[in-house]
Amino acid sequence: MSHPISVSKTALETFETIRNQIRERLGKKAVEDFERNTIKILTLIQQSPYMYKETELNPNIRKGLIKKVSSVFYEIKSDRIEVLFFWDNRQEPML
């Protein structure tokens, strides 16, 4: 069963920030890979939202690994999946 996905403003901003960092450091091909992998992961989440581990703060918020260096945090709601933000895993961990 497929669940609708909504994307928060923060998710759009953090995605763009990571995308720009990848472009500056690694170039256009790496950006294309990041975008392709993000779409793949979001499609998997849409089809099977419980596939990734829940966070310690809230069991409805989960962290999906896009690549070794980036993740997506999303919340499973009754009527949809909301993408909350993207995270560069090389940053300091969140408390």
The answer on pLDDT for 89 being more than 90 is no
pTM: 0.90
Note the pLDDT of residue 92.
64
Query: What six digits make up the tokens of 2?
Result: 């497929």
Higher pLDDT, 66 or 91: 66
Cα torsion angle, 73, 30, 23, 35, sign = negative
What domains lie within the chain, and their CATH numbers? Answer: 5-88 (3.30.2310.20)
The answer on pLDDT for 2 being more than 90 is no
Contact 62, 80 (CB under 8 A): no
In tens, the pLDDT along 58-81 reads: 989 999 999 888 999 999 999 999
Question: How many residues are given for the chain?
Answer: 95
Note the pLDDT of residue 57.
87
